[in-house]
Amino acid sequence: MALVQRALERRGLPTVSVSVARDVTSACLAPRAVFVPFMMGHHFGVPGSATLQRAIVRAALEFIAEAKLSGEIRDLPYTWNEARRGAYG
């Protein structure tokens, strides 16, 4: 996916990806990414957690204007255990 992201960014389109695998995202030098320590396939949280899902989408999109360096990865302040508990709504 980082290769698609890099192709888009090279064309002048600002991009951001949401990653659960910081090592993979970092190795591929995705131009901008936010990281959540979640289970694979659950990048936006858990089923039914609309508030958390929306917050992650919003945080990712806001990071587009805030990132300073290509390859920068921002950690979002969530944990999988809390997400599974429904702590974030």
Partner 1 sequence: MGTFEPMAQLRPGLWETVNDRYPGSMIRKSDAVPLATPRVPLRDARVCFVSSAGVQPVGSLPFDVAHPVGDFSFRSVPSHASVADLEIHQLKYPTAGARRDLNVIFPIERLRELVAEGTIGGLAPNFFSFIGYNMDPIRFETLFAEELASAVEREAPDIVLLAPA
**CA gap 6, 63 in Å, rounded:** 16
Residue 86 makes contact with partner 1 by CB under 8 A: no
Residue 59 makes contact with partner 1 by CB under 8 A: no
Residue 61 makes contact with partner 1 by CB under 8 A: yes
The least distance separating partner 1 from the CB of residue 67, rounded to whole angstroms, comes to 6
Residue 27 makes contact with partner 1 by CB under 8 A: yes
The least distance separating partner 1 from the CB of residue 55, rounded to whole angstroms, comes to 9
Position of tokens 């945080």? 59
Q: Which residues of 58-83 are buried (b: 16+ CB within 10 A; e: fewer)?
A: ebbeebeeebeeeeebeeeebeeeeb
The least distance separating partner 1 from the CB of residue 63, rounded to whole angstroms, comes to 10
